[in-house]
Amino acid sequence: MQICTTDIADPVFEGECPKEVSLTVAPCQNSTTLVVTKPVATDNSGNVTVFGPDNMVMELAAGVHTLSYAAEDPASNYAYCNITVTVNCKYERRSFVNTLTP
């Protein structure tokens, strides 16, 4: 007797994925630094490949940015992870005193 099985289980990303990250640009700066760590995925097959940006340091301007990852196992089952990075601007409030002298 021969038994055939089909892997229908998707890989799973470990930790918080998807997740949201919020950063603030320092006053008088145009961007901020983000250290990207590629998320880890596991699978019941013991073999999974994660596609997306590798570990790196990125400079991000103000706005909303998305880092997208996909994990694939040998049976072509997929899992997806999107990390939303919101970069906010912080403006310094300065008050100016205008003194008029006659």
Q: Is residue 59 assigned to a domain?
A: yes
Q: Residue 94's pLDDT is what?
A: 53
pLDDT of residue 91: 66
Radius of gyration of the chain (CA): 23
Domain hosting residue 57, numbered range: 12-83
Task: Look at residue 57 in the predicted model and tell me its pLDDT.
Answer: 95
**What is the DSSP code string of 33-53?**
EEEE-PPPEE-TTS--EEES-
pTM greater than 0.85: no
Query: Is residue 17 in some structural domain?
Result: yes
Per-run averaged pLDDT (10 residues), the chain, 102 residues: 90 87 88 92 96 94 94 97 92 55 53
Residue 71, pLDDT score: 97
Please name every residue paired with 20 in a beta bridge, in sequence order, or none if there are none.
84
Assess if residue 75 is contained within a domain: yes
How confident is the model at residue 26, as a pLDDT?
87
Number of domains in the chain: 1
